[in-house]
Structure 1
Amino acid sequence: MGADLNSTSTAYPKEKALFDLFTDSVNRYPDHVALTFHQVSYTYKELNQIVNRLTRELLNKGAGKGIVIGLALDRSAEMVISLLAILKAGSIYVPLDPEYPKDRIEFMLDDSSASILLTSQKYSGHFASNTREVLIEDALEASEDYADNEPERTVSGEDLAYILYTSGSTGKPKGVQIFHHSLVNVMLSFQKQPGITATDRMLAVATISFDIAGIDLYLPLSVGAEIVLADSITAKDGRALLDIIRTQGITILQATPYTWRMMLEVGWEEYLPLKVFTGGEALAKDLAERLIPRSKEVWNLYGPTETTIYSIIKHITDANDITIGWPVDNTQVYILDEDKNDLVDGEIGEIYIGGVGVALGYLNRPELNAERFIDNPFTPGEKIYRTGDLAKIKPDGDIVYLGRIDHQVKVRGYRIELGEIEHNLGKQEDIKQAVVIAREDTPGIPRLVAYIVLKSGGSGAPDKATLNNWDKALLEVLPEYMVPDDYVLLDTIPSTPNGKIDRKALPKPDYSQITREGEYVAPRTSNEKLVADIWEELMGLEKVSVFDNFFQLGGRSLIAVKIMARLEKETGKRLPLATLFEYSTVEKLAARLEIDASAITWDSLVPIKPKGSKMPLYIVHGAGLNVLLFNALAMNMDEEQPVYGLQAKGLNGVDEPLDVMEEIAANYVDEIINHDPVGPYAVAGYSLGGLIAYEMAKQMLAMGKDVRMLAMFDTYADQTQKLDSPLKRFVDNTWLLIKQIAYTPVLFFEDPKRTIEYKSREIGRRIDKAWKKIFPSKALEKKGFDAYTNDIHERSLTAQKNYLLTPVNIAIELFRARKKTFYMADSEFLGWKPYALKGVNVHDIPGEHNTIFAPPNDQEFAQALQKCLDKAAVGEKNTKS
């Protein structure tokens, strides 16, 4: 049976380099689209010409055979172009995700002895290293003078293609060295199974620091298929990914189980002609049950970085029979016991992998190489890789994955050495001992839990300030996905009789212990039980007390939508999301359900944090239409700072939404003045809400009201064209389009992280609207929250399109996201300077447009906002307009 399993020998062009597969596609399919990023596409011929020119420029800058080049670019077309150019130059690339901690990237550059760092103007001078920095903008411009035919070939399949760093147990990442021919083999094997053709469109979402990105990028390029490259924000947004799949003809997507679950949670119910590649971590039965009927095919993929991306694959057709399958071409898999005996009779052993995919080894780690890359006991002269994974072989030959032997885990698709987290926690002054494990107390939701012994002693849960300090310290040296989700204080770490840490004896955390108000109180009424059961299910918690607080338990907008939708389904009562501000415990929300539906109010004014003696702040919703995301900001502000939100009229699906900016603003002004007739007032708006807040301030000043502060939260001053002549509109829009096209490369590298949550929603609605007109019978029916927010959003856009900005004698406090999201003609003042006659005061806040309210950005944002409010409260009254 073992021999049958490993009968995978297949002829393949071992002499070929990885880029030769791309060049073959160029010759066969020159006019096929090879790459699409946002609205820009490149044919194979166009892409190859750009790559060839850039290759020559890189050679001119010192690239060449065996030269190591670090690549730190945001996700963009230029990132793909650069990868291919580095390979064609004969160099070895080190993929560096710029979102990773600076110290970690600098270590990789130093450890790999990289000679060149290819990066963008955005990151110029950011990384301290001994490399020669080459900016992609300059390189592309200089490359325009070069020939675009194939450069001289300097490498073969026996040369290295990349060094990819994975988590390291000693606290430092380790670099895995992968050959060209190993990548060629896995691409040719994958062309056959799971299969890909020149007509496929593959959505690429993996970061290049994750080895599976090789499948995203090189597999479609090897057959003449199209890569649809998602930027980093889209890749993390299940709704945006689902929109792209539905509207752009995507036929293949490779993602981790975490990402597949995220897409299912945001409304994927229908069948899609999509080939599902799931890898990075184990495929659970419940996830397979949901994916199989919704997709064309589901493939379970397994393989460590050290054996070139994937080594074992399986077409999953039955959720009750999940295995990782059989080896890919030219790959041998052995299940061995501690004495290296081959277990082919269903006994559990460790997975060892041999064949052409085995890496050269870890860079500069001879001791680790001796431990992991051992002599193959079955094929003298070859190496096999010891994975540390447990498995068994079924009678039919399929391999069943059974988890890890050691303390290396996979969480949300990322392979994590728990020792690296423990090592860095141990550096904290107050920590005596730290043990980290991955728990899956809720199926499909793995969590990293750190068990801490303090020098000062203590048990239970650490206080919030301590938690923040630990998280901040870890985020300086580790990627976000390696920061523990939960911390548990113990007097001692449990141990086995032989003195080793007994990880199985580590207690399950009380996930709500930090925030629980007093002792656990069980539901006492049918409504309390209904609410508690829904919270437990949707938030992955156990034994939610009737006094537990939604926000303190980690509740967010997406969960709130699901909770309210479930409550509406169970009770027939629709509640505003903002209900959770005032009725944030199980007890209060259950009591709210007992009120007659007709008595439920949908006022625009929402008390987020109503108590306090300071001047209240009123914040207008953004494109998302609800104000739930302002909660974290409010909770990080001064204890005496009241905060109110303004939500859109019509969210109840009954009231008529407004589509005139002046009327929207007047509605909000009425509610504010009815609540507080005297003032003074501080008004703010997020995104689209900034324009509404501007009109509100204008109206309030005209009424003689004391407006002490007008704040914009990353809002751009878009001026209407309604008063322009058709000719002027045509000229202006044409000129704008020309500038956008001309500066497209620059814009990509200034910040390709566009505000996908807003933009994809806007594009999705337009596509949906057009689809309904063309194919009304096939249009996706919007239900629940989507149904009644869609109309409001469209009307809000109409109001924005028709709103004429006029100067107002007022100052604007502009809170500008440090990471730019949109194309802007004025990136300094976001277009507000002509309209704020008293000036624009700019405050840079962390994050990009969609993450300024997310932890840990919310804390710094809140502090800056509080300073402005306190200063405004004692300042002079704004002059009447």
Structure 2
Amino acid sequence: MEATILNNTGVHYPKEKALFDLFNESAQAYPDKIAISFHDRSLTYTEVANTANRIAALLVQKGIKKGDIIGLALDRTPEMIISLLAILKSGAAYVPLDPEYPKDRIEFMLEDSGAKILITSAKYAGHYAANTTEVLIEQALADSAALLPEQPNAGVTGADLAYVLYTSGSTGKPKGVQIAHHSLVNLMLSYKKVPGITSADKTLAVATISFDIAGVDIYLPLSNGAELVLADSITAKDGRALLDIVRNNGITILQATPYTWRMMLEVGWEEHLPIKVFCGGEAMAKDLAAKLIPRCDELWNMYGPTETTIYSIIKHVTDAEDITIGYPVANTQIYIADEQLNNLTGGGIGEILIGGDGLSWGYLNRPDLSAERFIDNPFSTIPGDKIYKTGDLGKLKPDGEVVYLGRIDHQVKVRGYRIELGEIEFNLGKLDSIKEAVVIAREDTPGYPRLVAYLLLDNGQTGHPASEQLDAWQNALLAVLPEYMVPDDFVLLDVIPSTPNGKIDRKALPKPDYSYIVRSEAFVAPRTSNEKLVADIWQEMMGLDKISMVDNFFQLGGRSLVAVKIMAKLEEKTGKRLPLATLFEYSTIEKLAARLEINSELITWDSLVPIKPMGSKMPLYIVHGAGLNVLLFNALAMNLDEEQPVYGLQAKGINGIDEPLDVMEEIAANYVEEIINHDPVGPYAVAGYSLGGMIAYEMAKQMLAMGKDIRMLAMFDTYADQTKIHTPPLKRAITDAWFLVKQLAYTPILFIEDPKRTIEYKSREIGRRITKIYKKAFPNKVKKKEGFAAYTDDIHEKSEMAQRNYLLTPVDIKIELFRAKKKTFYMDDSKNLGWIPYALKGVNVHDIPGEHNTIFAPPNDKQFAKVLQECLDKAVK
């Protein structure tokens, strides 16, 4: 299709009108109709108009004039929407500021925009350090109540600025996009026709006002006499609550990102609902479309950058196998062009360029960047006409519909080839069993980038694909792509990480587990006998054929279990015993081999181990689990904030010399002493994994008794297993028998959920119990362990003894409980893991992906770290 036909979108509209004129027309046509609903409040169009007019008049009294900028930081209430209208009616433009966004980001936007006034609430009074006058909405409502409900005559037209919305910048500083009134008027009138809205509709608004799609949430219903149902910030993040509102409140239109739609589908949305689904902000996957189409009246895919006024291209999706972004909205021109700005009309892949009435004025205070992205339109004969370079890749289908293929800045160079990641993602998304695909180039070894595909599968599988599946995918890609575009690594996730706006967060994608990879690049061969010795041991224990002297243990997929084997083998070969924690500092063969040269007497075996010692935040101290070492906390630590220090606590006696402790109070006291010697003042954040949670609990109890400031006590999937040592023998036997019955009864449920994992776990448990019985029955026939295995077994037995004898008593503290989502064994209290009677200030439960033994393993570690960091940051506020 010729571009002239594609872009035949000219429609007359009242370009001179301001955005609020559309609202005023609704208020005149439907004065007594409900305009905004919020919880149990309902405001008519007249009430909204009169209140907005009064506040606008008050702003004018405060010296606001046309062209000024006003910041708005309010929680999601009707007053937030009324204030937006009031700002526009006063002649000013607004900067939308979500109070949930970082404080320093909001302060930057206020300063950069030159906002004369900040409208906020008493809740945030004085919160933001900015050179602006603060107007509290509570006071503004009171002060304006006596004013006439007449709109000020500010002389606003469609040519004036409506808002400045900040988006992420490549320099790390947000950039302000300037949008005029007429651009919004054009979009609202275009949307009134297609997809269509009438005064009989009822819409639900869920987008944060700092996301441009909130403009459709707010102004589309209010421009057409429809009812706007406003969701508060908590509800907007709760799929079940949103689904309940849609079901029970007669919602007919809902706009949301793919992330939000998936969230609603996952909480039990199965039936057809009479709604139009607007899906925007991120690419639509075919599996999502397939689920939404039968559940709604209409499904619309919407595309557009902030710089061209929210949405520029829309598509009514009726076939999940044929997803495009469709055709341009009214008065909008779309081109696909190559790097030389040649128009690609034959289906070639190029950059999506957008022109027309939705075009922004450019970036506020950023003339260089504006000139780079808003260029002279090479396809226009109108002098001074501009077009926006979106940075997105696309192509035209023969019928003229636009296919979106991802970001150009996701274009990478691997092994000398320039690769469009969007093209790989597009072809992966067409394969059976793949719901969603994201491809990035990782450079975990400097100078050697690798293509990594992150996939969501229909069957929910996570981790790494089987070799047969991997071969099938690679062969399918080889049929349509050159070899250099086929990913090196495939990682299966249960969820693609997203930003607060619901867009894919590529920076949050986890490192692949490189233990699945035979490395041959950047190879440095052994140069000394010690390097040869360490290399041989690593290769044997890690199952790799070739490891460079500079490869990092953790990047190779090194885990605590293999570290134990490596250190035991090193001790066997050299007679030198090194702590497992040595690998934190000496994580390459080169460094570890050099460490073997140091005198054994200089090796320290302190319980306190610096895992990630640098950073300005409150340190986190994590107690080992039954495995006795802290190596498995490395991945979690590395995924926490750059400024978050992390220390581990390893068992006394792990050097094979010191006598292990077998009393819980003494174990805890030893760790407390080391922490306080390291940091006498605090405040403190203490956590424990599995058995370590019990130790951490006793540590917190002792530190509170000492008057120390414990800001956070965290349990990493620890069950409050109260000792039965004081229970009468008969009662104990009955209790144990009944628990065994419940375990056996629960096994079929586990088997149905995951038969393979259940069989593995139960087989291992049965084997462990048989071994234990055999040892007791035939102690002389059991081969005595030596070296590392012997003294770790001794510590483990002493630790179990300490737990069996430890009496849990209530403590005046709150527990942050990080609970593994996947269960592999029966628990009496699977909700709070038994902690409610002991944490007198309550238990906050945080579900984290994985099962008990895999919560620290990729890709679970990334999500775990995110939730943990939020708790740590909240604890110090």
For normalisation by structure 2, the TM-score amounts to 0.54
After TM superposition, give the deviation of residue 858 of structure 1 in Å. Answer: 3.6
Q: Is the 8 A contact 1:253 1:274 kept in 2?
A: yes
Q: Is the 8 A contact 1:614 1:641 kept in 2?
A: no
Mark the structure with the bigger radius of gyration.
2
2:387 is aligned to 384
After TM superposition, give the deviation of residue 81 of structure 1 in Å. Answer: 1.0
1:405 is aligned to 408
1:203 is aligned to 204
Aligned residue for 2:199, secondary structure, equals coil
> Where do 5+ consecutive residues of structure 2 fail to align?
412-420, 423-439, 463-488, 490-496, 523-550, 565-630, 637-688, 702-711, 724-738, 747-802, 817-822, 824-829, 832-836, 845-863
| Cα-to-partner distance string for 1:417-453 (whole Å, 9 max, x where unaligned) | xxxxx9xx99xxx9999999996433699x9xxxxxx
In the superposition, relative to structure 1, how do residues 374 and 201 fare at CA in structure 2: closer, same or farther (>3 Å)? same
Larger RCO of the pair (alpha carbons < 8 Å, separation 6+): 1
After TM superposition, give the deviation of residue 514 of structure 1 in Å. Answer: 7.6
Letter in 2 for 1:334: Y
1:776 is aligned to none
| Cα-to-partner distance string for 1:276-315 (whole Å, 9 max, x where unaligned) | 1001111111111111011110000010100000000010
Q: 2:455 aligns with which of 441, 451, 454?
A: 441
In the superposition, relative to structure 1, how do residues 291 and 269 fare at CA in structure 2: closer, same or farther (>3 Å)? same
After TM superposition, give the deviation of residue 482 of structure 1 in Å. Answer: 8.1
Letter in 2 for 1:404: R
2:508 is aligned to 484
Report the Cα distance in structure 1 between the residues aligned to 2:164 and 2:154, rounded to whole angstroms: 21
Q: Map of 1:178-193 to 2, 5 A cutoff? A: 178-193=179-194
In the superposition, relative to structure 1, how do residues 306 and 613 fare at CA in structure 2: closer, same or farther (>3 Å)? closer
2:716 is aligned to 635
1:286 is aligned to 287
Report the Cα distance in structure 2 between the residues aligned to 1:641 and 1:376, rounded to whole angstroms: 67
Aligned residue for 2:868, secondary structure, equals coil
Letter in 1 for 2:393: L
Letter in 2 for 1:441: L
Report the Cα distance in structure 2 between the residues aligned to 1:392 and 1:643, rounded to whole angstroms: 64
Q: Is the 8 A contact 1:234 1:240 kept in 2?
A: yes
Report the Cα distance in structure 1 between the residues aligned to 2:554 and 2:225, rounded to whole angstroms: 52
In the superposition, relative to structure 1, how do residues 271 and 480 fare at CA in structure 2: closer, same or farther (>3 Å)? closer
Q: Is the 8 A contact 1:632 1:853 kept in 2?
A: no
1:328 is aligned to 329
Report the Cα distance in structure 2 between the residues aligned to 1:48 and 1:376, rounded to whole angstroms: 40
After TM superposition, give the deviation of residue 92 of structure 1 in Å. Answer: 0.8
Q: Map of 1:43-192 to 2, 5 A cutoff? A: 43-192=44-193
Aligned residue for 1:235, secondary structure, equals helix
Aligned residue for 1:26, secondary structure, equals helix
Aligned residue for 1:287, secondary structure, equals helix
Q: Is the 8 A contact 1:166 1:176 kept in 2?
A: yes
Report the Cα distance in structure 2 between the residues aligned to 1:493 and 1:336, rounded to whole angstroms: 39
Q: Is the 8 A contact 1:89 1:154 kept in 2?
A: no
In the superposition, relative to structure 1, how do residues 86 and 816 fare at CA in structure 2: closer, same or farther (>3 Å)? farther
Q: Is the 8 A contact 1:610 1:642 kept in 2?
A: no
Report the Cα distance in structure 2 between the residues aligned to 1:632 and 1:335, rounded to whole angstroms: 55
Report the Cα distance in structure 2 between the residues aligned to 1:335 and 1:169, rounded to whole angstroms: 23
The number of residue pairs the alignment matches comes to 540
Report the Cα distance in structure 2 between the residues aligned to 1:134 and 1:862, rounded to whole angstroms: 30
After TM superposition, give the deviation of residue 31 of structure 1 in Å. Answer: 1.3
| Cα-to-partner distance string for 1:484-516 (whole Å, 9 max, x where unaligned) | 2435799x9999xxxxxxxxxxx9x99995877
Q: Map of 1:568-587 to 2, 5 A cutoff? A: none
Report the Cα distance in structure 2 between the residues aligned to 1:431 and 1:103, rounded to whole angstroms: 33
1:855 is aligned to 868
Report the Cα distance in structure 1 between the residues aligned to 2:448 and 2:717, rounded to whole angstroms: 29
1:740 is aligned to none
Letter in 1 for 2:455: D
In the superposition, relative to structure 1, how do residues 11 and 853 fare at CA in structure 2: closer, same or farther (>3 Å)? closer
Report the Cα distance in structure 1 between the residues aligned to 2:15 and 2:222, rounded to whole angstroms: 18
Q: Is the 8 A contact 1:391 1:402 kept in 2?
A: yes
Q: Is the 8 A contact 1:285 1:320 kept in 2?
A: yes
Q: Is the 8 A contact 2:201 2:251 kept in 1?
A: yes
Report the Cα distance in structure 2 between the residues aligned to 1:516 and 1:85, rounded to whole angstroms: 60
2:304 is aligned to 303
In the superposition, relative to structure 1, how do residues 401 and 612 fare at CA in structure 2: closer, same or farther (>3 Å)? closer
Q: Map of 1:232-251 to 2, 5 A cutoff? A: 232-251=233-252
Q: Is the 8 A contact 1:37 1:230 kept in 2?
A: yes
In the superposition, relative to structure 1, how do residues 121 and 677 fare at CA in structure 2: closer, same or farther (>3 Å)? same
Report the Cα distance in structure 2 between the residues aligned to 1:326 and 1:86, rounded to whole angstroms: 33
After TM superposition, give the deviation of residue 211 of structure 1 in Å. Answer: 0.4
2:266 is aligned to 265
In the superposition, relative to structure 1, how do residues 79 and 438 fare at CA in structure 2: closer, same or farther (>3 Å)? farther
After TM superposition, give the deviation of residue 635 of structure 1 in Å. Answer: 2.5
Letter in 2 for 1:41: S
After TM superposition, give the deviation of residue 188 of structure 1 in Å. Answer: 0.3
Root mean square deviation of aligned Cα: 5.0
Aligned residue for 1:62, secondary structure, equals coil
Report the Cα distance in structure 1 between the residues aligned to 2:197 and 2:696, rounded to whole angstroms: 62
| Cα-to-partner distance string for 1:773-824 (whole Å, 9 max, x where unaligned) | xxxxxxxxxxxx9xxxxxx99xxxxxxxxxxxxxxxx99965799xxxxxxx
Report the Cα distance in structure 2 between the residues aligned to 1:270 and 1:195, rounded to whole angstroms: 23
Q: Is the 8 A contact 1:609 1:635 kept in 2?
A: no
Letter in 2 for 1:377: P
Q: Map of 1:631-780 to 2, 5 A cutoff? A: 633-635=714-716, 682-683=809-810, 709=811
In the superposition, relative to structure 1, how do residues 125 and 510 fare at CA in structure 2: closer, same or farther (>3 Å)? same
Q: Is the 8 A contact 2:199 2:226 kept in 1?
A: yes
Q: Is the 8 A contact 2:700 2:713 kept in 1?
A: no
Report the Cα distance in structure 1 between the residues aligned to 2:79 and 2:843, rounded to whole angstroms: 27
1:523 is aligned to none
After TM superposition, give the deviation of residue 43 of structure 1 in Å. Answer: 0.8
2:15 is aligned to 14
Aligned residue for 2:262, secondary structure, equals helix
Aligned residue for 1:406, secondary structure, equals helix
Report the Cα distance in structure 2 between the residues aligned to 1:552 and 1:228, rounded to whole angstroms: 46
Report the Cα distance in structure 2 between the residues aligned to 1:615 and 1:815, rounded to whole angstroms: 14
Report the Cα distance in structure 2 between the residues aligned to 1:678 and 1:350, rounded to whole angstroms: 68
Q: Map of 1:277-676 to 2, 5 A cutoff? A: 277-379=278-380, 380-381=382-383, 382-407=385-410, 440-442=454-456, 484-486=508-510, 513=557, 517-518=561-562, 612=694, 633-635=714-716
The sequence identity of aligned pairs, in percent, is 54
| Cα-to-partner distance string for 1:829-854 (whole Å, 9 max, x where unaligned) | xxxxxxxxxxxxxxxxxxxxxx9994
After TM superposition, give the deviation of residue 168 of structure 1 in Å. Answer: 0.6
Letter in 2 for 1:327: P
1:41 is aligned to 42
Q: Is the 8 A contact 2:697 2:713 kept in 1?
A: no
Letter in 2 for 1:273: P
In the superposition, relative to structure 1, how do residues 371 and 611 fare at CA in structure 2: closer, same or farther (>3 Å)? closer
Q: Is the 8 A contact 2:281 2:303 kept in 1?
A: yes
Letter in 1 for 2:715: A
Aligned residue for 2:297, secondary structure, equals strand
| Cα-to-partner distance string for 1:678-726 (whole Å, 9 max, x where unaligned) | 996544xxxxxxxxxxxxxxxxxxxxxxxxx455789xxxxxxxxxxxx
> Where do 5+ consecutive residues of structure 1 fail to align?
411-421, 448-459, 461-470, 496-506, 521-548, 555-606, 620-630, 656-675, 684-708, 715-784, 786-791, 794-809, 818-850, 865-881
For normalisation by structure 1, the TM-score amounts to 0.54
In the superposition, relative to structure 1, how do residues 641 and 391 fare at CA in structure 2: closer, same or farther (>3 Å)? same
Report the Cα distance in structure 2 between the residues aligned to 1:75 and 1:438, rounded to whole angstroms: 39
Q: Is the 8 A contact 2:56 2:151 kept in 1?
A: no
After TM superposition, give the deviation of residue 149 of structure 1 in Å. Answer: 2.5
After TM superposition, give the deviation of residue 856 of structure 1 in Å. Answer: 2.4
